[in-house]
């Protein structure tokens, strides 16, 4: 059993040691909780549980504590993929909910599995997801003072390999902050979140770059075709160099290989396989 998580890119962590330590400590705690949960649950259940913990931690740009868009509203996106069934589900730009990844989980059982905007919010209400304001005082202050450029790159994600050999991925974001309302990034697409029987990938970074590279699905396809995870990742990242693609990934292959990479340090991540390792 394997578990790896990420908390996106944090440029402010390079200069604010207190913030950096708080985020590392949070990742350390959450990855342990997720791994313990994995002992008695499937990969699919575990990635939902773990990403929900990340969404609930206001240190990260997902769920509570998400960035505010240019019109003053918060819109959340998240997706989920089950490597064993190849089912993908997600919500895009949903407002006033607490855990978008849990709504994505609910959608796995429906024929229409990716919903956006008002339709996603209506679905959430109809299925018992109550009103929640994900704004925090810190995010409001940043919005009002136009400080988004310092901390705009953030997403959370999880990849898990369970005891049955099944892989699953989950990714959630509050956006980049101050974007045009209606903008869609990678997190609720197969470019940013993808798994099959061979590998699972969760991405973070600039959504447009990740979509341009079809990053997660390309890496997984290459592993499926016989490359090792590290080789597949490095080849795909090399293909982003012509447009200076800004991205980071965490991944697990079915053989247990774990790999992480970023094009522009520093992505913060943690893995647990008996020992915790945190970078950032």
Question: Mind telling me the catalytic residues?
Answer: 155
- What are 26's two structure tokens? 């949070």
For residue 86, CA distances in Å to 7, 89, 134, 152, 224 come to: 25, 10, 30, 31, 13
| Beta bridge partner(s), residue 214 | none
Residues in the chain: 280
Phi and psi torsions of 20, nearest 5°: -60, -50
Reduce the DSSP state of residue 183 to 3 states and report it: coil
Can you tell me the distance from the alpha carbon of 248 to that of 271, in angstroms, rounded to the nearest whole number? 15
Beta strands 199-205 and 114-116 are unpaired
Q: How far does CA 25 lie from the centroid of its chain? A: 18
238 touches 247 (CB < 8 A): no
Alpha-carbon gap, residue 253 to 261, rounded angstroms: 14
């Amino acid at each position: 059993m394997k578990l790896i998580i990420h908390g996106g890119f944090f440029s402010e962590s390079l200069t604010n040691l207190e913030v950096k330590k708080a985020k590392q400590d949070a990742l350390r705690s959450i990855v342990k909780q997720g791994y313990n949960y994995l002992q008695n649950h499937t990969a699919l259940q575990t990635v939902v549980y773990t990403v929900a913990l990340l969404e609930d931690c206001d240190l990260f740009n997902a769920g509570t504590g998400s960035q505010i868009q240019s019109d003053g509203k918060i819109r959340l996106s998240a997706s989920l993929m089950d490597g064993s069934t190849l089912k993908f589900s997600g919500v895009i730009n949903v407002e006033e909910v607490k855990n978008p990844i849990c709504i994505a989980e609910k959608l796995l059982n429906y024929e229409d599995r990716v919903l956006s905007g008002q339709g996603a919010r209506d679905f959430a209400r109809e299925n018992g997801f109550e009103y929640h304001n994900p704004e925090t005082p810190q995010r409001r202050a940043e919005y009002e003072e136009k400080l988004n450029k310092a901390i705009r790159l953030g997403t959370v994600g999880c990849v898990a390999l369970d005891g049955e050999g099944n892989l699953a991925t989950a990714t959630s974001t509050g956006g980049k902050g101050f974007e045009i309302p209606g903008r869609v990034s990678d997190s609720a697409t197969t470019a940013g979140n993808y798994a099959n029987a061979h590998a699972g990938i969760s991405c973070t970074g600039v959504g447009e770059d990740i979509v341009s590279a079809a990053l997660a699905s390309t890496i997984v396809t290459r592993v499926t075709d016989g490359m090792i995870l590290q080789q597949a990742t490095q080849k795909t990242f090399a293909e982003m160099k012509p447009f200076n693609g800004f991205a980071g990934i965490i991944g697990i292959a079915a053989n247990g290989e774990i790999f992480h990479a970023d094009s522009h340090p520093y992505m913060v991540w943690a893995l647990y396989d008996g020992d915790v390792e945190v970078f950032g």
